Structure 1
Amino acid sequence: MSNVARPERASTRLSARTIVTYAIGSLGTGGYATLPGLVLTYFLTDNLGVAALVAGLIVTAAKVWDVVIDPLIGAASDRQLARTGSRRGLMVLGALTLPVFFALTFAVPPSWGPAAGAVCVLLAFLGTATSFSLFQVPYVALPAELTDGYDERTRLLGWRVVVLTAAILLFGAGGPMLRRATGDPVTGYLLMGVVAGVAIGIGMLIASRTAREGVAAPADTARTSLREQYLDGFRTLRRSAPFRALLGTFLLQALATGTMLAGAQYVARWVLGDEAAVEILFVALVAPALIATPVWTAVAARTGKERAFLFASILFLLSSATITIALWSPGAWIYASVAGAGIAYAGLQSLPMAMLPDVISHDERTSGPGRAGTFTGIWTAGETVGFALGATAVALMLAVTGYVSSVAGTGAAQPDSAVAGIVLSFSILPAALMALSLVPLSRYRLRRSDIDAPASPVS
């Protein structure tokens, strides 16, 4: 076989401007991941009167759509890179269209009825998911092209998670506050959707400037059919054992954190007895990450990313499992357990995202360059499905345990079984999923020496 040269990319220390501009993109990522996961199921069940099981299916359907389009967008992003030398075009398109669809998702009034409301929310959220994927798939591909340094990638993604953490705090606490600002749930949800959608779009638009111009890419990428590049994304799963291990771990962990995210609003109202407590839960979960993220970066530099990732996973498992005690003794102590999970969450976000560019580089050395977009298309699909299935798992738990849905302005008492289901979906369920994720993580074999080894042509 002929030699295939690796694309040139920066190997020096990244500038502060590049790191800040890239990190601001997590304002969009944090907003999109937080608000729908936090309030969309609740919006459907307790504002539009949609049955819990149907609400879970709506969120899942939108994310199944991601499984279809994310690999296609990844392939299209690689083609755009080969043709224009930049991934920026798709990112800008996503940033400009997401605010419209995001606002429409929360603009449906209860007067339309549960059936019509459910359909309208589904269509609007499908549009939101598409816009987000147009940005997110090329965005996640950028670190592999910005630098090939093992520790420099950890630094880049560490600061991204700091902004992500701040965004989760902002949207997780600020979103529900906006929802209550008007005193009317209908106009409150609309205000929340408009303001949050615009903020998300601005963050995405700023981060799109990080996409390099003139990045080298194999010329034959532009000539390869979209179908072949789409299928190539799935071939990477067969070809790359490190990618299979990392993706399997991240998907299960996204599912675990997704269950806690979707269950937080229900815990606040029915376990802690105060709907406004959701903001305190979010602060307890996310605020520790502002301090913990640099610590995880330092731990990774000392022990390796894979070991630091294992430590964070175990800490999250133990912290979430302790919340099971709320079945017998609910109280403010839950915030301490959530804070422990929050410290771990910082590592669960920054470390696998810093490991993904290593996996892409490793594949370049063995199979040739030009596939970063196909990797991140599959990755983003796995991430979004994990978070969506977290909401679905909570909805199924609520349905099985007898949760009673209601429309805006009305109240409904919940049976003890439903309250128990809420606690379990916030504790044992994420702990069990986190324990299961340790199996694929144990199969991740890449180490620092595999990444920092001198580059050589692929034969």
Structure 2
Amino acid sequence: MGQLARPTLSRRTYLGYAVGSVGTGVFATVPGLLLLTFLVRQLQVPPALAGLVILLPRLWDVVTDPLVGSLSDRTRSRLGPRRPWLLAGALTLPVAFALLFRVPELAGRPAAVYVLGVYVLGTTAFTIFQVPYVAMPAEMTQDYHERTTILSWRVALLTVGILLAGGLAPEIVAAGGGGRDGYARMGLAIGAVLLTALLACFLGTRAAPVAAPVATTASFRQQLRAAGDNRPFLLLLACFVVQALGIGAMLAGVDFFAAYVLGDPGQTSILFVCLVGPALVTMPLWAWVGHRFGKRAGWVTCSLVFAAGGLSLVTASPQRLWLVYLQVVVMGTAYAGTQLFPFAMLPDAISLDTARSGLRRAGAHTGVWTAGEKGGMAIGPAVYAGILALTGFVETESGAIVDQPSSAVTGVLLGFALVPPLLVVSGLWFLRGYDLDADTVAGLHGSDAPPLAPGAVPYPSPLPVPDAPDAPRAPDADVAPDAGTDAVDRPPESP
């Protein structure tokens, strides 16, 4: 699996980067956990329409994510190419989130239109922060194993964000009376958490290395084509999106599962803590597995464990809550790995493109990646909402629990315990052809590195390198200006 290199980044830099995931975890989780039930049970929106409200903003992300990634690749700033975007997202996302759950006196379709408009604004602000944020590890270090370390810190803090979202948000809603006022108070409180975490990330990454300027950059269309030509990247993306679809469906079903299968809506927070809490303990284990056996093997293993725990919930009963908790803890043991390994492998796939082209295109790759992630996480709730609609679920007013037909209760259970695990396992099919390991990634930066494209420069380079005078270039390629303050920043030594 290759030799472990001495870390080149300080723990302060690890933490400064990772704290941003408290915010991304909160925003990625709360709408998936509560927005569907808010629409259906509070705003009287039919399930099928509610699923569409959640889906459409994520489809919008398919356009905006790659665009923001490409723009961040081209950004020239004394703050580096990524951090200006972090600041913009940190200042806009909390406001949009608070407004998402503060709905005027509307119900049904008018309420759906309001939520849709605000959600589009929120997901756009999230894109502005997240896409450059995800691009940063590929530029912070070239070491295969240190990327796992960076991402293990990130997922540990992501877990904190998810715990805040899943454990705290429903409790704030309940403390506020469980109705619209409760959701509005939750929006303000979680918005404050978002503001704190995202600004802390912006400030905490001041010492993080940034990508060196390059002599040529491709157009937006060429950058997307480059991502599409990167086979390891496409394999990772396909697996990740299918699994995100399954996890999105499961998150959307937690509240329904607690209310209609376990008979107690108050179980939602407990189930969420059982799912996410073990990640804080098992993260070092999965990081060790990645170092010892490789990231691909680690991803397959944790996915199978996650699916096994999920399938066992088909037998869930309110008479055996202790068993339900145990089954969800098994899933939680593997959940950390399902979040760690895809993001730890992404920088390796980006390095392949960088080594081949010599160009800074991490943002374009991560834009496509996050678009796929958000699409999967949005289609998942839409799939769950579709299952509810097909099985005859009756929408309710003001969160009331009403008697549902037996077919609807079956749909609630199977949509939560059967469909998501099957999707998680199905995604593994795409990893069969993935072949980037530690030795391969090390070779990308050594004597075995593939030849550079015509006119490209070595990456990363601490100094600007002018275009080769006789090198051909694409007719719509841009020429980057002088390096200025964008030369590679060297991080402080670890204490």
Give the TM-score band, short-chain normalised.
over 0.9
Alignment match, 1:104: 99
CA gap of 1:430–1:323, structure 2 versus 1, over 3 A, is same
Alignment counterpart, residue 216 of structure 1, candidates 188, 206, 212: 212
Larger-gyration structure (1/2): 2
Deviations, residues 167-221 of structure 1 (Å, cap 9, x unaligned): 1111101000111112251111011011111211221121123164764121433
Deviations, residues 209-255 of structure 1 (Å, cap 9, x unaligned): 3164764121433xx5xxx31x2343134311100110001101111
Q: Which amino acid aligns with 2:95?
A: V
* Residues in 1 aligned to 2:249 and 2:108: alpha-carbon distance in whole angstroms: 24
After superposing the two structures, state which structure 1 stretch, 435-444 or 139-148, moved more. Answer: 435-444
Alignment counterpart, residue 167 of structure 1, candidates 157, 161, 176: 161
Alignment match, 1:385: 375
Q: Which amino acid aligns with 1:105?
A: L
Alignment counterpart, residue 345 of structure 1, candidates 327, 335, 341: 335
RMSD: 1.9
Give the TM-score taking structure 1 as reference length: 0.93
Alignment counterpart, residue 229 of structure 2, candidates 239, 245, 251: 239
* Residues in 2 aligned to 1:330 and 1:72: alpha-carbon distance in whole angstroms: 49
Deviations, residues 364-401 of structure 1 (Å, cap 9, x unaligned): 11222210000000000011111101111110010001
Alignment counterpart, residue 37 of structure 1, candidates 32, 38, 53: 32
Alignment match, 1:64: 59
Alignment match, 1:125: 119
* Residues in 1 aligned to 2:321 and 2:210: alpha-carbon distance in whole angstroms: 56
Structure 1 segment 48-447 matched on structure 2, within 5 A: 48-81=43-76, 85-109=80-104, 111-209=105-203, 210=205, 212=208, 215-221=211-217, 228-229=219-220, 231-326=221-316, 331-408=321-398, 410-447=400-437
Q: What percent identity do the matched residue pairs reach?
A: 42
Deviations, residues 298-347 of structure 1 (Å, cap 9, x unaligned): 01100011111111111112111111123898744222121111111100
* Residues in 2 aligned to 1:335 and 1:328: alpha-carbon distance in whole angstroms: 11
Gaps (5+ residues) in structure 2?
454-495
CA gap of 1:81–1:152, structure 2 versus 1, over 3 A, is farther
Alignment match, 2:41: 46
Q: Which amino acid aligns with 1:113?
A: A
Give the paired residue count.
Answer: 443
Higher helix share: 1
Instruction: Report SS of the residue matched to 1:402.
Output: coil
CA gap of 1:412–1:146, structure 2 versus 1, over 3 A, is same
Q: Which amino acid aligns with 1:80?
A: T
Alignment match, 1:6: none
After superposing the two structures, state which structure 1 stretch, 234-243 or 443-452, moved more. Answer: 234-243
Do 1:55 and 1:395's aligned partners in 2 also have CA atoms closer than 8 Å?
yes
Give the TM-score taking structure 2 as reference length: 0.86
After superposing the two structures, state which structure 1 stretch, 321-330 or 85-94, moved more. Answer: 321-330
Instruction: Report SS of the residue matched to 2:185.
Output: helix
Instruction: Report SS of the residue matched to 1:446.
Output: coil
